Amino acid sequence: MGSLPIALTCGEPAGIGPEIAVKARQILGAEVPFFWMGDPRHLPPHTAHRLIHRPAEAMAVPANELPVLAHPFAAPATPGKITYANARGVVEVIARAVDMVLKNEVAAICTSPINKKVLKDGAGFGFPGHTEFLAFLARVEQVVMMLAAPELRVVPATIHIPISEVPRQLTAEGLEATIRITEAGLRRDFGLTRPRIAVSGLNPHAGEGGAMGTEDARVIAPVVAKLASEGMAIRGPLPADTMFHPRARATYDVAICMYHDQALIPIKTIDFDGGVNVTLGLPFVRTSPDHGTALDIAGKGIAEPSSLVAALRMAHHMAEARVRQP
């Protein structure tokens, strides 16, 4: 896999994906070999690109050109304006990239942002997002969404569900599996021999001894105690509002949070441009930028490519490490 490129899926063609892919190539050059999978018509005008027919050909494309593995879409794309007819192509590209990585034709997958509702309405996409779709395609029971930046790693134990659903879907079994997958992923892919794990509470002040909710004592604490008794370096449930200042962040390697925004607000506040979404528990490496389609700025030339650059670099380093240490 060491000499294979990364497949970068196009994501929502009306979003900022195509333009940040071009910027990422300009920044990375030959440092991180990748190709863009999508409809060449969706690239910004005058993009210097080279059509390839097989992933391996990307390795020979000059650094100042974007290697493109074409995938036909139903319609052209207008930045900022959704074309529902293109939804199916977005899904097809993701599935095609998974097929390639499972056949070891590419080193890893990096996914450009999708618009979940557009895929649902336009293509009957039945998953909350990439994470669940990739687990389905890889036939994996449970995976973990981790957002990683140099100063912070976070994992939401529940992801794309309504807040009103969180207490019901936050189970001891699911939380335990999330923490085990996270701990294993940090050891395997991030070189941590004994990851330090901080687990947040669900309720204010981690339930205030039961005065502000019972999930902390009833669901979270027993999981932490069980994993600690097995020797895991784990603490919690902790009051979430004092977990993310610098001194607190220095005491752990990952924060396990109970729901989407409890995890994603701190990391996107601390390092929006450096954060990377990485899926743990898949049989292949997958990363993604930590932002979405940004339709409001698509096509204006002001989209920041840094998170995509960080995601491509992380995928490259993780894939290379897995070649060295399978």
Ligand X SMILES: N[C@H](C(=O)O)[C@H](O)COP(=O)(O)O
Q: According to CB under 6 A, which residues from 99 to 128 bind ligand NAD?
A: 113-117
Q: Which part of the chain contacts ligand NAD (CB under 6 A), choosing from 55-63, 133-141, 169-177, 292-300?
A: 292-300
Q: How far apart are CA 85 and CA 87, in angstroms?
A: 6
264 binds, among ligand NAD, ligand X, none (CB under 5 to 8 A by kind): ligand X
Residues 166/258, Cβ–Cβ less than 8 Å: yes
CB of 311 to ligand NAD, least distance (A): 9
Query: The tokens of 14 are what?
Result: 């009306």
* Sequence letter at residue 173: E
Q: Shortest CA distance to 125 belongs to which of 113, 115, 135?
A: 115
268 labelled ligand-binding: yes
**286 labelled binding-site residue:** yes
The nearest distance, CB 235 to ligand NAD, in angstroms, is: 29
Instruction: Report cis status (omega within 30 of 0) of the bond before 237.
Output: yes
Task: Give the residues lining the site for ligand X (CB under 6 A).
Answer: 129-131, 264, 277, 288, 290
Q: Could you say whether residue 57 binds ligand NAD (CB under 6 A)?
A: no
The CA distance from 189 to 322, in Å, is 8
Residue 249 labeled ligand binder:
no
From the list ligand NAD, ligand X, none, partner contacted by residue 83 (C-beta under 5 to 8 A by kind) = none
What number of CA atoms fall less than 13 Å from residue 69's CA on the CB side? 24
Phi then psi dihedrals of residue 264, to 5 deg = -85, -25
Does 296 sit near ligand NAD (CB under 6 A)? yes
251 to 280, contacts with ligand NAD by CB under 6 A?
Answer: 277
Intra-chain end-to-end CA distance of the chain, in Å: 11
Annotated binding site for a divalent metal cation: 160, 205, 260
Site for ligand NAD, rule CB under 6 A: 16, 113-117, 130, 277, 288-289, 291-294, 296-297, 303-304
